[in-house]
Chains A and B, each alone.
Chain A
Amino acid sequence: MLYLYDGALDVPTILKEWYEQEDKSNYGAYIPFIGTIRDEDGIDGLSFDVYEPILTSWFEAWQNKAKQKGAIIKMAHSRGDVMLHESSYIAAVFSPKRRVALEFIDEFVEDFKASAPIWKYDLRDGERIYAKDRSTAIKGSGLLA
């Protein structure tokens, strides 16, 4: 399942909800990754734009890959502003055995960074500045150049 929230994620609530959704599903492993906004380079926080139609199809493709290994993925992401020490991203894999989940969370988060249609901005002194130097062109970019 994919969950989008306006503003920061309520990490304890989301992790608890996901745990309770699957605690009778006979998964042996629940491995979450929680992304937190760090205090660095003088930012006040981060802000995010999300393009939901393509994010949804990208996520469904990963959910199908997980299913082939008997696993499932859950992901939550913020829209809009998230301040220092708050969370904007949680991904979790549930699988019968831990090895699948450990490998899958790594592959999933790497592809998320490279492909998910989400744009990040630094918040500084009330301005929203595109984090261009930390962004990655989606595979196949430059078609119209």
Chain B
Amino acid sequence: MVRVEFLGPIQKEPLEIDIKNLNELATILQDDSDMQEWLQNSAVAVNDTLVSSREHPLHDGDKIVLLPPVCGG
């Protein structure tokens, strides 16, 4: 089981799901109407490290966060 959190302005409760990689997460979120405006412009981190491949393996207890466009300062 992994936990998926949605940061900043993405108004969505965390998910607890049983998936093995980010391809599976992409499939789930692409079917979620709440996520359509965010998938194209959000970065992904696994255990607080940004990742660049959907093949990134996931393990039980991993935390995934989605980071929408930022603007500090």
To the question of whether A and B form a pair in one complex, the answer is: yes
Interface residues on A, range: 35 or more
Neighbouring A residues of B30 by C-beta, 8 Å: 144-145
Neighbouring B residues of A51 by C-beta, 8 Å: 7-8, 65, 67
Q: Is the CB of B73 within 8 A of A117?
A: no
Q: Which of B40, B45, B52, B72 contacts A77 (CB 8 A)?
A: B72
Interface residues on B, range: 20 to 34
In the complex, number of A-B residue pairs with CB atoms less than 8 Å apart: 112
Q: Is the CB of B22 within 8 A of A143?
A: yes
Q: Could you tell me which residues of chain A, from 47 to 62, have a CB within 8 Å of some CB in chain B? A: 48-49, 51, 53-54, 57
Q: Is the CB of A138 within 8 A of B9?
A: no
Neighbouring A residues of B1 by C-beta, 8 Å: none
- Distance of A57 Cα from B46 Cα, bound (Å): 13
Neighbouring A residues of B51 by C-beta, 8 Å: 140, 143
Q: Is the CB of A135 within 8 A of B67?
A: no
- Distance of A54 Cα from B51 Cα, bound (Å): 12
- Interface stretch among A13-21, A24-32, A98-106, A126-134? A126-134
Q: Which of A77, A89, A114, A138 contacts B50 (CB 8 A)?
A: A138
Q: Is the CB of A140 within 8 A of B52?
A: yes
Neighbouring A residues of B25 by C-beta, 8 Å: 144
- For residue A64, CB closer than 8 A to chain B, the reply is no
- With contacts A49-B8, A51-B65 taken as known, whether A141 is within 8 angstroms of B43 at the C-beta atoms is yes
CB distance from B44 to the nearest CB of A (A): 5
The 6 closest A-B pairs by CB, nearest first: A119-B8, A118-B72, A135-B69, A130-B9, A138-B43, A120-B71
